[in-house]
Structure 1
Amino acid sequence: MSFNRSDIQTIYENELKAMIQDRDKAGFKEVVTSLHPQDQMDLYVHLREQERRFLYETMPPQAFALVFQELDVLDQTRYIHELEEDYARAVIRHMASDEAADFLLQTRQDKVSRLLEESDDAFSRNIKELLTYEEETAGSIMTKEFISLRTTDRISDVIAMLRVEGPKAETIYYLYVIDDRHKLVGVASLRDLIVAEPDAFVQDVMSTRLISVKALDDQEDVAHLFKKYDFLAIPVVTEKRKLIGIITVDDILDVMEAEQTEDLGEFAASRGATDVSLSPVTAAKKRAPWIILLMFFGMITAGVIGQFEETLEAIVLLAGFIPLIMDSAGNTGTQSLAVAVRSLALGTVEKKGVRNMIAREFRTGVMLGLMCAVTLIVIVPVIYPGEFLLAGIVAVSILFSLSLATVIGTVVPLIIHKLNLDPAIASGPFITTVNDIIGLMIYFTFATSLLQYL
């Protein structure tokens, strides 16, 4: 059964609050442990500090570890200071190795790090290994808690082993098969093992059609593989095909969310500033570079207008259509940018071809330009009686501006992608400003060339 925040509030008000006041540890533990770890996390962040301390007294470290690893890093950093050193160490040690490594990588928790450094057991070694990989690589998000099989293992023995070792692993839906040198040679699903004859061997049911990733592969590329093949897990290997870990789908969901947030920040020219928990000062610092750069581009726009000052002085009415030209070109370019970035993310560009994509967007721009041009030819003379030539200038400017805007909005992210950079850095405001400049140049060039007839 799932609970929303109001349900959690009701449970707290009706049951847990009184139990905390009465120090009813048994009752409190029974209610809390009956909840899903995600719901336990929602409850946990709702508690006040003294109530959280009561929870620490009630929940064993291995149970609280499931709650703690559901928190985001900022909350983990905040709450870890409330824990006693031994309790904190035990909590970290009961977390999945990838979750614990991510926590230690993102924060500077000296007391926990020191305790891990003092140990030389398998868990500490796994954490130290995971911390050596760069952020946003496959190695940084893989887990070391996995079960590997040998080709000569008997199915009945594997099933018996899974009953013991299965709860300790991150997942047992896929079981990877290695040889004597720990090289990855096959994979068997849990279903394959269950339906196989008990006397059969792993080599009889495993598949050798393997999809794997290297430890230094980009996590976004790994996410694409999960989406393409509908995996629940994927093995991580070294250059020599040695199996060193696995990546599970729950970690990839986090990666997808992080990448989408990052792309959204790039698209809005506010990279790194989309986190609502950031202070105003930090958010301003992260947004300032793009804003200042765009301000300079805005000065170029002002310079373009200044170059045609005589035209504006002769026909003041031209100034009234500047926002229309700028907004239309900017909006159309941003739409094409969104299509291009999305197509690159989904891999559809490779399927349809770059030329086809550019041609499609150009044709779309021409059609949009024609529709807007016809509309302006009809409306402008109605609003400004007799200004047929002005209507024609604005209409032709819109046609050319929108046609070019779609091409620019498509080509720029494609070029950036070709340079092996994130195409999302071709932000909406940047494309909008570039198209503003080009649109104004087209508009004033037409107007100046026909000035004698206006």
Structure 2
Amino acid sequence: MDEIEQNQISTLTRVLLEDTQQFREEFLDYPTFEQVQFYLQLDEELRKILYTIIKPKEMAEIFDLVEQEVDDVEPYVLEMGRKYAVEMLLEMSKDDVVDILKQLSPENARIYLKLLPREEVSDIMELFQYPDGVAGALMTTEYVAISATQTVAEALQVVKSQSREAEIINYAYVVDRNECLVGIVSLRELLANSDDVLIPDIMIDRIVSVSVSQSQESVAQKIKDYDLVAIPVVTEDDVLLGIITVDDIIDVIDESAVSDYSGLAGVDVEEVSKNVWQSALQRLPWLIALMLLAMLTTSLISRYKGVLEINQTLSIFITLITGTAGNAGTQALAVTVRKLAIKEQVMPAKFIINELTIGLITGTLTGTVVFFAVSILQQNMLTGFIVAISMLVSILVATLAGNLIPMLIVKFGVDPAVASGPFISTLSDLTSIIIYFGIASVIFGYLS
């Protein structure tokens, strides 16, 4: 936060302690996001004072964002007191309640489920059954559903009666007597047509929907492709179960981006621990693994002393070849991880051939540039040729590794982002050294 915002926090905190009515008026004038930032800056004692001023219904809007900002909401829920927390949960959408309860200990989650009304618990438990990462875990069951047999006037009455509970009212979802989704009608269409018009005459029957077991990443991609505000979630028999709104999908996209970037960096980029020892220990395993690979690379160079004795100039270009190959491997890795993350249909053979073609083009062009540069600078075309061929082959191998490794990891049900950029770069160093000195050994052996 900048200095002005910090001053606002200090002023508002002082008002909180001195005049609760003035605080309430000023606090509720702030946008919800800024209310959340203020809330998170308070210590537990001040937050408990806040709970006596802000109603549970008002806190529900704030806590919807708090749950996304902190790693563990349990301390915040427990400090409220059970009565206040239950009243707040009743004001929140059921999918948000499920997200909060999943972060509580099993014992505390059971306590709060017992305190909630039975009809609420039934809907919540229905959402609880879906594992994280699928559409069912992301959907809300609070939407506007109308019958295919209704008129516009009847449908508008339903929209009006359900509007307070529904997460969005931009669209009404048309179902038949078996609760199967048969169409969608926008609020604009309902308002623009006469009261006696039948819903089937104005609804859209070409429906874009997702399966309840579909991955959240593919849901996000579909919402993006069709530019939707919300998307219905259905069973295999097209029974409407809920909807997923775009604001929930934004969170998925953000989490996916963080996961991909963390993988490429080989570290958790959202690391929030203030304990430097804990942060260091979290990063240490990758660093040790990469160090061992690097040591193996160094030992390989020592095994090629004979080659370096023939042409010591080759040692100058080791980092040039390993660095370029590592960059090529990381580029291929980024493209592959992205395609796998959004569940894009990838035909392995065609995709790999396409990437290898790209690697061949880039390798040939960089190899050509290196050949002329080394030949001119070192006045030695043989050295230029060795470096150029090694560059070409190293880029091809690094590109192949960047493609194949994440694809193989997915086969074992592991997030492809764990094939980190540093790992691919270090692996490319190892293979590039073998290729470089292997080609040099073959050429020198042939010439001798």
- Asked if these proteins are the same fold (TM beyond 0.5), I'd say yes
1:336 correspondence with 2:329: no
Q: What's the CA shift for 1:199?
A: 1.7
Residue aligning to 2:365 = 367
Q: What's the CA shift for 1:258?
A: 0.6
1:77 correspondence with 2:78: no
Q: What's the CA shift for 1:130?
A: 1.6
Residue aligning to 2:393 = 400
Residue aligning to 1:428 = 421
Residue aligning to 1:67 = 62
Matches of 1:318 and 1:358, distance apart in 2: 27
Residue aligning to 2:46 = 51
Matches of 2:209 and 2:259, distance apart in 1: 26
Residue aligning to 1:323 = 319
Residue aligning to 2:430 = 437
Indicate the percent of aligned positions where both proteins have the same amino acid.
33
Matches of 2:217 and 2:104, distance apart in 1: 23
Which amino acid in the other structure matches residue 63 of structure 1?
Answer: E
Q: What's the CA shift for 1:8?
A: 4.1
Partner of 1:443: helix, strand, or coil?
A: helix
User: 1:83-98, aligned counterparts within 5 Å?
Assistant: 83-98=80-95
Residue aligning to 2:306 = 310
Matches of 2:89 and 2:402, distance apart in 1: 47
Matches of 1:109 and 1:42, distance apart in 2: 29
Partner of 2:73: helix, strand, or coil?
A: helix
- Decide which moves more: 436-445 or 333-342: 333-342
Partner of 2:158: helix, strand, or coil?
A: helix
In structure 2, stretches of 5+ residues that fail to align are none
- CA deviation map 1:370-390 (0-9, x unaligned): 2233333333x2xxxx55543
Matches of 1:13 and 1:433, distance apart in 2: 49
Alpha-carbon RMSD:
2.9
Distance 1:114 1:219, change over 3 A: same
In the alignment, which of 22, 32, 41 is matched to residue 36 of structure 2?
Answer: 41
1:187 correspondence with 2:178: no
Q: What's the CA shift for 1:226?
A: 0.8
> Do the aligned residues in 1 keep the contact of 2:172 with 2:185 (CA within 8 Å)?
yes
> Do the aligned residues in 2 keep the contact of 1:365 with 1:406 (CA within 8 Å)?
no
Q: Give the TM-score normalised by structure 2.
A: 0.88
Matches of 1:285 and 1:185, distance apart in 2: 54
Distance 1:365 1:393, change over 3 A: closer
> Do the aligned residues in 2 keep the contact of 1:349 with 1:357 (CA within 8 Å)?
no
Which amino acid in the other structure matches residue 424 of structure 1?
Answer: A
- CA deviation map 1:15-61 (0-9, x unaligned): x2442232x22221111222222121112122343332222111100
Partner of 2:79: helix, strand, or coil?
A: coil
1:237 correspondence with 2:234: yes
Which amino acid in the other structure matches residue 120 of structure 2?
Answer: F
Distance 1:228 1:419, change over 3 A: farther
In structure 1, stretches of 5+ residues that fail to align are none
Which amino acid in the other structure matches residue 358 of structure 1?
Answer: L
Matches of 2:409 and 2:228, distance apart in 1: 30
Distance 1:246 1:5, change over 3 A: farther
Distance 1:119 1:406, change over 3 A: closer
> Do the aligned residues in 2 keep the contact of 1:80 with 1:88 (CA within 8 Å)?
yes
Q: What's the CA shift for 1:422?
A: 4.2
Q: What's the CA shift for 1:201?
A: 2.4
Matches of 1:225 and 1:73, distance apart in 2: 28
Matches of 2:331 and 2:179, distance apart in 1: 50
Matches of 2:35 and 2:151, distance apart in 1: 40
Matches of 2:279 and 2:173, distance apart in 1: 44
Matches of 2:196 and 2:116, distance apart in 1: 41
In the alignment, which of 158, 161, 165 is matched to residue 158 of structure 2?
Answer: 161
> Do the aligned residues in 2 keep the contact of 1:233 with 1:246 (CA within 8 Å)?
yes
Matches of 2:234 and 2:308, distance apart in 1: 66
Distance 1:164 1:10, change over 3 A: farther
Which amino acid in the other structure matches residue 183 of structure 2?
Answer: G
- CA deviation map 1:199-246 (0-9, x unaligned): 222222211111222222111111111111111111112222221111
